[in-house]
Amino acid sequence: MRRFFFNPNLAQLSSDSSNSNPTLTRLSQLAIGSLLNLTDDIYHHWCRVLRAKVGEQSLVFDGLGGQSIIELESIDKKSAQARIISHDTIDNRSNFHSTIAIVMSRGDRMDYAIQKSTELGATTIQLLTSQHGEVRLKANQVDKKLNHWQQVALSACEQCGLNRPPLVMSPVSIEQWLQQQGGEPHNDVSYLVNDAYYQQYFNQPTLPLVLAVPNQQEKQQLDINASIKQHFTQAVQTQSKPRFDILIGAEGGLSESEYLQARDSNYLPWQLGNRVLRTETAPVVALATLMHIGDTV
């Protein structure tokens, strides 16, 4: 069954919906049988590209939890309506919160990093600039690129079954990020920030990790995997979700000064294996490793 992201910012209930509150667009709160006007992107993809017919069903999610089955009720030249058939509370989310704070790279490499981070359950993806970074967006490019990368994440959600999409945050410098000055999500998904799930993430204590090779002294003093396990255990004891902020440098790595700033900001140097990973590979390995460690706690 096809899955689509249904953006409540761009949607309206049909005028003959049975729901008593015509301004309510949160899918999980709509009555079974309510009619929805499909958003333009769903209409185009489902009805025009895929040539769906009246009576066909699809899954839709709005990022606020769960998903719904809808059935095409009517189609005309520029719009379509669908009726809500059922709701499901499944989210398929990870058992931990995570921030992938990654220096922007060029072309498909950035798309790949965002796509795979989404499939592996990242909560947010913070875009960064750095001394060794290749990408510097001009002010008039930020909105367009941010929208593109957020759409990459939403498309990955549609494919993998995740119903809580990661927020792709506007670029900031590594220095700003280490000073806890993060970016903002694209306007189209900014409504997610106020949801309880994302608020829990923003207010959750974090274990910050920087993907880097520790020096000999650090290797002797630090057991990063033990720290990660302890963070998971403490979260379980307090009935909360652990959060990890993972700092990933550019293809040339972090500069010495950036690494020292990260260490001064209590980031622990985490080495993933004994080989140098590409910037788009690093978040995949890091998140997969955290999933494995979390399953063993």
Q: Residue 12: its pLDDT value, please?
A: 55
Q: Is residue 74 located within the same domain as residue 200?
A: no
Instruction: State whether 147 and 224 are in the same domain.
Output: yes
Task: Report the C-alpha gap between 74 and 65 in whole angstroms.
Answer: 27
Average pLDDT taken over every residue of the chain: 91
The last residue of a domain, from among 44, 64, 88: 88
Judge whether residue 261 has pLDDT over 60.
yes
Q: Are residues 221 and 103 in the same domain?
A: yes
CATH number of the domain where residue 166 is located: 3.40.1280.10
pLDDT, tens only, 178-187: 999 999 999 9
Structural domains in the chain (count): 2
pLDDT > 50? residue 20: no
Residue 37 Ramachandran class (φ > 0 left, ψ -120 to 50 alpha, else beta): beta
Same domain for 151 and 269:
yes
Asked if residue 173 and residue 61 are part of one domain, the reply reads no
Tally Cβ neighbours within 10 Å of residue 114.
27
Pull the structure tokens for residue 103: 């220096």
What is the domain extent for residue 116?
Answer: 97-295
Residues 130 and 255 in one domain: yes
Judge if 27 and 115 occupy the same domain. Answer: no
pLDDT band at 15 (very low <50, low <70, confident <90, very high): very low
Query: Do 135 and 104 meet the contact criterion of CB atoms below 8 Å apart?
Result: yes
What are the tens digits of pLDDT across the range 89-128? 999 999 999 999 999 998 899 999 999 999 999 999 999 9
Cα gap 137→29, rounded to integer Å: 39
The answer for residues whose C-beta is within 8 angstroms of residue 173's C-beta and 6 or more apart is 128, 129, 130
218 and 110, same domain (yes or no): yes
pLDDT tens column, 168-205: 999 999 999 999 999 999 999 999 999 999 999 999 99
Instruction: Tell me which residue of 211, 272, 203 sits closest to 240, measured CA to CA.
Output: 203
**CA geometry: angle 74, 36, 49, nearest 5 deg:** 55
Pairing relation of β-strands 35-37 and 97-103? Answer: unpaired
Q: What are 138-178's pLDDT values in tens digits?
A: 888 999 999 999 999 999 999 999 999 999 999 999 999 99
Question: Of 32, 64, 88, which marks where a domain is finished?
Answer: 88
CA terminus-to-terminus distance, the chain: 35
Q: How far is CA 191 from the centre of its chain?
A: 14
Confidence of residue 16 (pLDDT cuts 50, 70, 90): very low
Regarding whether 149 and 77 lie in a shared domain, the answer is no
Residues 172 and 37 in one domain: no
pLDDT score, position 49 = 95
Neighbouring C-beta atoms of residue 14, cutoff 10 Å: 17
Which of 57, 88, 119 is the last residue before a domain boundary? 88
Same domain membership, residue 235 and residue 109: yes
Detail the DSSP E strand segments found in 6-117: 12-13, 35-37, 57-61, 67-75, 80-88, 97-103
In the predicted model, what is the mean pLDDT of residues 256-271? 95
pLDDT in tens, 206-229: 999 999 888 888 877 889 999 999
CATH code, domain carrying 12: 2.40.240.20
Give 47's DSSP letter. Answer: I
Mean pLDDT is lowest, of 26-30, 93-97, 272-276, for 272-276
Q: Give the pLDDT band of residue 11 (cuts 50, 70, 90).
A: low
CA–CA gap between residue 139 and residue 248 (Å, rounded): 23
pTM, 2 dp? 0.92
